[in-house]
Every structure is written in C-alpha cells, then in structure tokens.
Amino acid sequence: MRSLWRSPAKLVVAGAVLCTGGVAAGIATSNDPATSLKICTTVPLRLLHDSITAASIVYDYKYSLWGLPEGSKERDEVKHEVHLRSARKLQELCFRNGGVYIKLGQIIGQLDYLIPQEYVQTMRESMLNRCPVSSYDQVCEVFRKELGQTPDKVFREFDPKPIASASLAQVHVARTHDGQKVAVKVQHTHMTDTAAADQATVELIVNTLQWLFPSFDYRWLVAEIQESLPKELDFLIEAKNSVKCLENFRRLSPHIAEYVYAPKVHWSLSTSRLLTMEFIDGAQVNDVNTIQKLGMHPNEVARLVSQTFAEMMFKHGFVHCDPHAANLLVRPTPGKRSIFGKKKPQLILLDHGLYKELDFSTRFSYASLWRALVFADHNGIKENSVKLGAGEDLYVLFAGVVTMRPWDRVIDPAVDHLVLEGTESDRSELQMYASQYFPQISELLRRLPSVILLMLKTNDCLRAVNNSLFRDSSLETFIIIGKVSSKAVVEAKMMHKNSLLHRLNIWLEEVVLEARLLAMQMAMWLLQVRKAVTWT
C-alpha cells in the first residue's frame, strides 16, 4: 500500500515547498508591493489547491484500479467512475481559480481524440456557460485605471449586469453619448495580476505529473497557453485582428466578403483591457430554432461557416482559432435571398483575441493535406503530414486526429469516407482509439508546431458547430473544404510556375479535381435521395 501513497505525496510536498518559499523576497523586491502581496498570498493558495486536487486524482486512480485485471469488465466500470469523479474535481478546481484555469478547462473539453469522454463532457457542459463574473465595483476599477472615469461618466447608459462572461472578460451593453448601442468587453480584474503566476503553477503541476507518469505528457498544452494568453489579454490586438480579418475577405475572398462580418471597434473607448464595439443582434450559430425563425436555413449557415474558415486557413493564412458557438452569431444578410426564397445568412465573428498566422509553406502543405484527405490520396496525405511535422512514423495517426476517423476510413475511396455522424457508435470508436494510442497521440501533439495544434483546435470547434447544424451528415463540409483547398493549392502553384507549359498542366489538374468534386457532389445528392426514399 505504501507505493500507492508515494506519487500523491510527492505532489503535495512539492506544492507545499513552493507555497512557503519566496513570498517575502517577492514583496521586498517589487515596484508595486500591494500587487505583489496580493499575488504572493493568492498564488501559493492556488498552488496548494492544485497540488491537493492532483494528488487526490492520482491516488483515486491508483487505489481504485489496484489489482483489477487490465481489460476486464470490472476494471472498465471502475475506471468510468474514477474518470467522472476526477473530472468533477478538476472542474471544481477550474471554477475556484478562474482565469487561466477556465481557459484550460475549455481546451480539455475539445480534446475528444485524447481525453476520456467523462472529462470532455464535464468540461464542455460547464466551461462555456458558468464562467466567473466580476462585480460592478471591479468593473469600475478597470474603467478608472484605463479611462480615468467610471462607466456612468464614459457612457450615457451602462448596464451593470453583464450579458455574457468568459474566462478572461465579460461583456456589458451600453449606449454612447451620441446614442449608439455598443458592447463593452471588460477584462476580469485579477487576470493581469495573476495570469503569469497561474501559468507557472499549471506548468509545475503538468511537469510534475509528466515526471511521475511519463506517458502523461501535456506540456504542449502549457506551451500553447503561454504563447496565446498574452495576446488574448491585450484587447487592442484583438481589435486589430478583427479589422485585418475583414480586410482579408475583401481583398482575397470578395465572393463571400459581404456574408462575413465583425463588429466595428470604437477606438477612442478602447484600451488593452477595455474593448468597445458595435452591438449586433443575431442568433447563436448552433441555435437552429432561432435561425429558422429568422428565415434562414441551418444547412446554408453550416456551409457558410465551412466556407469562411476554409478561406481563412487555405487562402488568407490568418485564422480565427476560437470558433466555438458562443463566438459565432448569424443574422440575415440585408437584401439577400436564396433561389428558394430563404434569407441568406451573414456570419458575425466575435472574440478576435486568438488568431494564428500560417506562413506560405505551412499554408500550402496544410491545404495540400486537406485536399489529399478529401480525395483519399494516400501518398499526398503522407507527404504533407510529414512536412507539417508528424513524421513518417505518425502520419497515419495525424490523419486520424485531423479527420476524427480511423485510417481505414481516411483512405476509403467511398464518397462519404470522412463523414462523422456524431452517433454513440462514432464516439465509442474515437474513445477506443484515444485510449489505445494515448502515448503516440501525446508524442504527436508534442512534436507538432503550435500553429498546427491551433488548427486542430479550430477543426474541433467547427466540427461541433457543423454537427449541431446539419440534420443528417456533414459531407457538404468536406466538399467545400475540397474545393477551397484545391483552389488554394492551384493558386500557390501558379505563383511559382511561370512557363506556359507548367501553367497549362496546373490548369488541367484543376479541371480534373473540379470534375472529381462534382462527381462527389452528385454522389452525395444520390445518397440523400436514397435515404429519403428509404425513410418514406
């Protein structure tokens, strides 16, 4: 039994040592003793909570599963219960600490291909709609620091109750002195003070767990947070990202530019911790009932979402990397209707804090990979997976993580080989692969560059949105991805091939691909007709 206690005890001792060390020195050497005192009293307490929670989870797994044969039904049942208990403990820790921890919980909720389903479901159900809320006094504190006045002086009207709250900030409705209705994003007061220290404590816990359990390697997750969080905490970067995003659509994708929108920024009322934007009414992108009431078709919304992000990934190289449902609104495009009389949707992109730029080489390889995936091209999948960092030993696994499909389905020439129905059978299959190849997936995520990790996260978000909008299957999504990625590859090749013969070969290649895509689309329609006939 003594060995069962050894690993958890190490965690608690490590936490306790760090909690008691360096506090006085930190306060004495700081230029802002009050803030340092706040940090040095809050952070050690959080680290102690972290250590106790981690130790409790480790002990629960070791004790509960001790002696149960691997692969037995009893072990699987007990493991399910331990997963649930541990997920709830982690959830409670995230809510208690807030900020960076909420962000971490949100990421965990998107890792279907790596994390047990109990963790994914627990985090996914709570982390987007139960975020901490700053008091009105704390909001006023931010206003005074940033603009020198309280909200009631800055605006004609300001609702003290936020309409939304996220891990880093909350949003209030206000009206400017000239009568414009605006949304005001206010950073939570503790974020600036404790973000760096919270990152350090999370890193310590993850590194300690990796030391105790070498196969449990989530250091790539910490690295992603450390890179992206400082940018997300500067709202002026977010404002500039929104402007650049729309400019890219006007310049590089004019055919859909009027169907993609971002709220206008009120620059004179915005700082690094306050962001004032045009207020926009719209339906949340996964709210099918409201979308239909507004006169739009959910399938058309899903196609627009897929088209928008495919253009960003494969043509712009500047990608919104947090497209979960709360960050995407939809409204009717003024004066636009489809041939069936339905209103054409306009996609409203919110929260532009997390963007990633893909250099030309990465963008070309990523577009080529997706083109190969859509056409089940084994050689193309391998070649471009290797170029993106997966290596020749893990390219099969990489293709599976990107598509959420096993390899035999990835290279299946059937027209619907990449479709993910979202059924219980699909989820069970994914979890089985996640469990079976856990060490290899961890190694894959460790070696992939951060930009590709964020593309995986973006794919996961978009997959969840599409699954909520499409009534039957998401095959149309892959046809759109095939079209945009193929066009991006052709355009990139044209830029580097000057001779007439080369350009003619590239043009013929594009014609062949367009014909194959058209054939896929025809096959998709036939499948839908067959399903409809069978159902009736």
| Catalytic residue IDs | 322
| Cα angle 290, 292, 293; round to 5 | 60
**Are 253 and 316 a contacting pair, CB within 8 Å?**
yes
59, 177, 288, 306 from 466: Cα distances, Å? 39, 40, 11, 8
Nearest-angstrom CA–CA distance, 292 and 388:
40
Nearest to 257 by CA among 183, 336, 180, 181: 336
d(CA 260, CA 256): 7
Q: How many CA atoms lie within 13 A of 356 on its CB side?
A: 23
Structure tokens at 329: 């609104």
Cα distances (angstroms) measured from residue 383 to each of 161, 426, 481: 53, 28, 19
Contact 284, 329 (CB under 8 A): yes
* CA dist., res. 534 & res. 530, Å (int): 6
Which DSSP state fits 313? I
Which residue shows structure tokens 């807030």?
98
DSSP string, 212-258: H-TT---HHHHHHHHHHHHHHT-HHHHHHHHHHHHHHHHHH-TTTGG
Separation of CA 433 from chain center: 21
In order of 35, 45, 51, 198, the CA distances from 41 in angstroms are: 10, 7, 16, 13
Q: How far apart are CA 129 and CA 126, in angstroms?
A: 6
Name the 3-class secondary structure at 105.
helix
Q: DSSP readout, 93-160?
A: HHHHH-THHHHHHHHHTT-TTTS-HHHHHHHHHHTTT------HHHHHHHHHHHHSS-HHHHSSEE-S
Rounded CA gap, 462 and 420, in Å? 12
Residue 455 to residue 193: CA distance in whole angstroms: 30
Coil, helix or strand at residue 390? coil
Helix axes 378-387, 360-374, angle to 10 degrees: 160
3-state SS string for 412-438: CCCCCCCCCCCCHHHHHHHHHHHHHCH
State the pairing for strand pair 169-175/181-187: antiparallel
Cβ-based neighbours of 453, under 8 Å, separated by 6 or more: 220, 224, 445
Closest CA to 309 of 473, 102, 480: 480
